[in-house]
A and B are shown apart, each in its own frame.
Chain A
Amino acid sequence: MIYHVSPTAIVVFIFFVLAVLALSFYFARKTKSESGYYAAGGHIHWAVNGIAFAGDYLSAASFLGICGMIAFFGYDGFLYSIGYLAGWVVALFVVAEPLKRLGKYTFTDALDAKFNSRSIKLTAAISTLVVSIFYLIPQMVGAGSLVTPLLGLPHWVGVVMVGSVVIFIVATAGMTSTTYVQFIKGGLLIVFSLIVVILVLTRGLNRTPSAEYHQFITLKATISENKVTAVSDTSYKILGQHEDKDLVFVKLQKNGTPSWWKLNTNAPEPVLEEAPSIVIKKDGGILYNGAPKGTGKFYQVGHLNKVIVDGKEVEKTGAVDPFEYIKRLQDSQITRFTKKSFGFNGDNVTLYYQNITPGVKIMKPGLYYKIDKGATFWSRLDFISLMLALFLGTSALPHILIRYYTVPSQKAARKSTIVAISAIGFFYILTLYMGTGAMINGCLDISNSNMSAPLLARTFGMTLFSIISALAFATILGTVSGLIVAASGAVAHDFMDKFLKIKMGPKEKVRSGRFAAVSVGLIAIILGIIFEKQNVSFLVGLAFAIAASANLPAIFMLLFWKRTTAKGIAWAISVGMLSSLAIILLSPTLFEIYGLPPSRAPIPLQNPGIISIPLGFITIIVASLLTKKHHTAHTAHTAHTVDGETKSTHTIQE
């Protein structure tokens, strides 16, 4: 086990959680109205709201997921940073001010402002709920990942802890406390990430990450008839061999401890290279590098194979500036660890073999998203799909959109978006350094990419690790709070109050919102446990795709196409949401979760955006044209809202 519980970590963690709870108690006393609960009364300063936007957005996906993906796959993880930020351009230029003009508390209010249509209320509420839940899953997964190293507790305990604390926060205080928690957390996250990056640059590139770093062993192998028959160290006994296409893995045993090795025939003479492994035995027992959890055999990995400076191989570079760091990394060679899973004599073996990768490959796309060598039509389409979903998803995320209602004016909405773009953009630049820093500093837990950034911080001392981990936990608390406010708004405000027209006084409305928050929180806890092993950034990519498919066509066409009808919007939301969900459920990743071979997935796309987003746009155009007459007859007095204020309208009965 590579995690050891630290008293410092526990103290810092408890301090952060108590601080968040204290803030919630303080604001809970001020939250008496529906406006206060859902929109913080609309009186948050734009600068505070901007950083709170950053706090909302720099979720587990950004901090844990992106850094983890960069640490494992290099530049491909940084694609998320680029796409996530580009999405804010759409939010600023297209959505921010009009949505502020149209809305009240929720995204559904804005969509429905022109029509007052029951079908819009229903579909938009469901879409908000679905997107929020999909966004909640990775946050919960991230929480579980963090609690293991911080407190030495199992993953599911972390998920339950976050769920419980957040349900408590949201159910008591609502949007005001969420805003201030996000403001403080967003600011601290950026500052401490900057500190980590400065330390990474000061350390520079070093072939030996630390004195304690594991020394990988290589054994000379004798091969006869494609079988390894002997190794140079006779204290090892050969237990068996597994072949997987061109790869050969050999199981050895020394002093009763089994271990896995990869045969390398490209060396001058055949050698076996040590490969860390996790083996689930027939009887259910789990061995980490041949020994049970807790024996400390499952070491951290990630190092430079060669450090090249101006064409010469050196041991280390010393302190470097941000540009020199990237240049040196491009020129060097990095030892990555590639995962391989297979069955062997009834055991489930997952091993991570050494894969020496040139820095030039690390610093461009291709290690995760196959767009270069070995690319197929579908892998290229997947890349486009991801970039499209990230670009269009941000401005369709309900928990981001509701933050436009916490500020007093359109100008404030715009300014807070610019503050958000600046803060988020700066943070995303830092992710490249944190991710690659984790990749080369011998700190990776190869079984869990999500822990890369906190583990990098640990190489600089337990205090920084404790602060970074606690901040990451607070990040999750804040983001989950925002998501649950959005989801509870969809259930209590959009569905119960506006769609079902249940008669409720102001206090009952807030109470129903709180009840909805508890329900959504419980669902998120369950899903967070189920999706434990998935990279959180990948999961958020799916939430973006659903949001972009279901909500963006509706928002965009409502603002810029005067012939858009209520039924067009309702149909677009339904088709966009259902098609993206269907593609996700039939994707290779989900097949892996079902326990089926990913190759049997009928749609080989990981991200549905490329199909479902255009489908949403086509649906809204076709449905609006088909229902135009009906709409015109019932909304003769409706004025277009883009040019200024929203005017009165008739109700459309559907």
Chain B
Amino acid sequence: MLHKPAVELEKDESAPRKAKLGIIMFVCYLAVYTGFVVIGVMFPSALGVNTIGGMNLAFTYGMGLIVLAIIMGLVYNYFCTRFENQVGPGDKP
């Protein structure tokens, strides 16, 4: 027998568009994250270079990754909500 979710969900017509957007944003973030790891491994001294306001690259990049995650999350939600509104009410939060 198939397992059903805890709550019965309506069919979500916007799911393919949301999944596609999710993958694109995931790849973008992955690229920025990989950049941090690559700099750390290949050019570690670069992380000590001063950037904005005298803060070094390690601080700026690290904080940037955290802030970027929050901003991208909000952007993703904005577009997903638009997709859902375009195809109909969908499931309710």
Chain A residues at the B interface, C-beta cutoff of 8 Å = 35, 38-39, 41-43, 46, 75, 78-79, 81-82, 85-86, 88-90, 92-94, 97-98, 100-105, 109, 112-113, 116, 323, 326-327, 330, 360-361, 363-366, 371-372, 375, 380, 383-384, 387-388, 391, 405-412, 414-415, 417-418, 421-422, 425, 428-429, 559-560, 642-646, 648-649, 651
Contact = CB atoms under 8 A, between A and B. Distances in A.
Contact of A364 (B5, B23, B44, B81): B44
B33 to A, nearest CB: 5
Given A82-B62, A371-B40, A89 B69 contact: yes
A85 B69 contact: yes
26 contacts: A42-B5, A82-B65, A85-B66, A85-B69, A86-B65, A89-B29, A89-B73, A90-B26, A98-B19, A101-B5, A103-B6, A104-B3, A326-B59, A327-B55, A363-B48, A384-B41, A387-B36, A408-B7, A409-B9, A409-B92, A414-B77, A418-B76, A425-B69, A560-B23, A644-B11, A644-B15
A599 B79 CA distance: 52
Contact of B41 (A326, A363, A371): A371
B34 to A, nearest CB: 9
Contacts of A330: 54-56
A271 to B, nearest CB: 30
B84 A425 contact: no
Contacts of A101: 5, 9, 12, 15
A421 B73 contact: yes
Contacts of A649: 2
Contact of B44 (A102, A363, A365): A365
Given A330-B56, A383-B37, A384-B41, A78 B70 contact: no
A46 B40 contact: no
Contacts of B29: 86, 89, 93
A471 to B, nearest CB: 22
Given A326-B59, A365-B58, A429-B63, A94 B22 contact: yes
Contacts of A428: 66
A103 B56 contact: no
Given A104-B6, A330-B54, A429-B63, 13 more contacts: A35-B6, A82-B65, A93-B22, A93-B76, A104-B4, A326-B59, A371-B44, A388-B37, A391-B33, A410-B12, A411-B90, A429-B66, A648-B2
A642 B90 contact: no
Contacts of B53: 323, 327
Contacts of B45: 372
A372 B70 contact: no
Instruction: Name the residue in A82, A94, A109 with the highest tally of chain B Cβ atoms < 10 Å from its Cβ.
Output: A82
Given A360-B56, A411-B92, A93 B26 contact: yes
A39 B12 CA distance: 21
Interface string B9-30: 1011101101100110110011
A649 B4 CA distance: 12
Interface residues of B, number: 56
A637 B44 CA distance: 53
Contact of A409 (B11, B19, B26, B91): B91
A419 to B, nearest CB: 9
Contacts of B66: 81-82, 85, 425, 428-429
Interface of B: 1-7, 9, 11-13, 15-16, 18-19, 22-23, 25-26, 29-30, 33, 36-37, 40-41, 44-45, 47-48, 53-59, 62-63, 65-67, 69-70, 72-74, 76-77, 80-81, 84, 90-93
Contact of B3 (A39, A94, A109, A361): A109
Nearest to A101: B9
Contacts of B56: 330, 360, 363-364
A313 B76 CA distance: 48
A411 B84 CA distance: 9
Contacts of B55: 323, 326-327, 330
Contacts of B54: 327, 330
Nearest to B16: A643
A434 B60 CA distance: 18
A612 B16 CA distance: 30
B70 A425 contact: yes
A93 B66 CA distance: 15
A78 B15 contact: no
B77 A418 contact: yes
Contacts of A407: 93
A363 B54 CA distance: 12
B65 A105 contact: no
B69 A409 contact: no
B41 to A, nearest CB: 5
Instruction: Name the residue in A364, A380, A421 with the highest tally of chain B Cβ atoms < 10 Å from its Cβ.
Output: A364
B45 to A, nearest CB: 7
Contacts of A116: 1-3
